[in-house]
Structure formats: C-alpha cells, structure tokens
C-alpha cells in the first residue's frame, strides 16, 4: 500500500473525516471507527511508515510523542487511572490491517491479553 491510497495518511492530511481527539504537528489521535472497547483511540504519526520495520525513519522525537500523546488521550478520555492498553499490531499474525504505523489506546473495561 502506498502513501497515496493509505487511509490514515488521508486522515492525517484532513482529506478523510475522522473524529479527532488530539492533534499536533507530527502526531494525530482519532476515534477508532469500529471501537472494540469503550475507549478506543488510534494514535498515529502524520508521516507514513508502514510498520515497526521503518520506525527509525520517523522524524526525531515522534516515537516519544506517540507515547506521550497516548497518555494525554487516556487522561482526556478518563482512563488514565483505571488503565489502558497501548498496543501496536505489527504484521500478519498481529492482525494488522492498516499499513500505516498506529497505536491503539484501549480502555474503559477490563482487558485481557492478547
Ligand atoms: P490494526 O488491526 O491494528 O491495523 O487496526 C486498524 C484499526 O483501524 C481497526 O481497529 C479499524 O477499526 C480502524 N480503522 C479503519 N479505518 C478507519 C477509519 N477510517 N477511521 C478510524 N478508524 C479506522
Ligand atoms: Zn499512511
């Protein structure tokens, strides 16, 4: 999948609608369209990287901001204290569907692995 037909790139560029929870220069967070938990937000780098294999190609500081924005989103959604999962699916066995690196912030009920 190229950047041109990547749905998360389109959301990051404002070319596709999403319920944005938070955004800044390099990172955007938006509601998962098919929420699997009461709180289910996706945090993504605006820049297209398909997977963890290319994470080193992100601009300096963006990986750190993904973590910090996830925590800020959890606070905003009221699950920072009750707890949440910060999950990156990577590759076929993980069930990764969208090949633009993204972290799920999931909470609002008791979760279990996997
Ligand atoms: P993953 O399996 O980790 O690739 O997760 C992809 C996630 O993206 C799924 O939870 C989908 O529900 C979600 N998703 C797919 N398309 C959209 C969209 N247009 N807006 C918001 N979330 C989406
Ligand atoms: Zn993309």
Pocket of ligand 1 (CB under 6 A): 7, 18, 30, 32-34, 42, 89, 95-98
Domain annotation covers residue 114: no
Domain annotation covers residue 91: no
CA distance 62 to 108: 26
CATH number at residue 58: 3.30.428.10
pLDDT band with cut points at 50, 70 and 90 for residue 1: low
CA distance 73 to 83: 12
Residue nearest to ligand 1 atom 8, measured at CA = 32
Mean of pLDDT over the chain: 97
CA 33 – ligand 1 centroid, Å: 6
How confident is the model over 14-65, as pLDDT tens digits?
999 999 999 999 999 999 999 999 999 999 999 999 999 999 999 999 999 9
Domain annotation covers residue 23: yes
Number of structural domains the chain divides into: 1
Domain annotation covers residue 87: no
Domain annotation covers residue 64: yes
Q: Give this prediction's pTM.
A: 0.98
Sign of CA dihedral 65, 74, 29, 98: positive
Give the domain extent around 28: 3-78
């Amino acid at each position: 999948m190229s950047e041109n037909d990547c749905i998360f790139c389109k959301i990051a560029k404002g070319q596709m609608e999403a319920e944005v929870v938070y955004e800044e220069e390099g990172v955007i967070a938006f509601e998962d369209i098919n929420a699997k938990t009461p709180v289910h937000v996706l945090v993504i780098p605006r820049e297209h990287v398909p997977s963890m294999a290319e994470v080193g190609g992100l601009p300096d500081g963006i990986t750190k901001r993904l973590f910090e924005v996830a925590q800020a989103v959890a606070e905003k959604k009221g699950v920072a204290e009750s707890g949440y999962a910060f999950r990156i699916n990577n590759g076929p066995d993980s069930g990764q569907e969208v090949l633009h690196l993204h972290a799920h912030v999931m909470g609002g009920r008791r979760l279990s692995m996997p």
